[in-house]
Amino acid sequence: MNELKGSWIEQTNNSFKHTLIFEDAVLFFVKPSKTDTLIYNLNKENEVLSLKLVNSPSGITTEHKILINKRKKELTIWGLFVGINTSETTFKKE
């Protein structure tokens, strides 16, 4: 079973909260000005989420350490936002 499948809302005090919508192998990353479509792969053993922007000319895949708390229905991702590589962002399952 894919533990990520579904919608996740960013836990922040900001007025706009980013949303992640995981489907089978596709992630929709909803931002204030646009929605990015990415291909993702979850390595449960190493707790790593690999992301690749669909139709990206560079074809670069980024890897992010994650933590899934099933009891709290929370997903924490490190380095999700460009330029804030050591930051962690927590999302709550909708």
Segment 56-73, tens digit of pLDDT: 888 899 999 999 999 999
Segment 17-39, tens digit of pLDDT: 999 999 999 999 999 899 999 99
pTM value > 0.85: yes
Between CA 86 and CA 13 the distance in angstroms is 19
Q: Please tell me what DSSP assigns to residue 15.
A: S
Going by C-alpha positions, the residue among 91, 32, 39 that lies closest to residue 60 is 39
Q: Kindly tell me if the per-residue pLDDT of 86 is higher than 70.
A: no
The CATH architecture to which 6-93 belongs is: Beta Barrel (2.40)
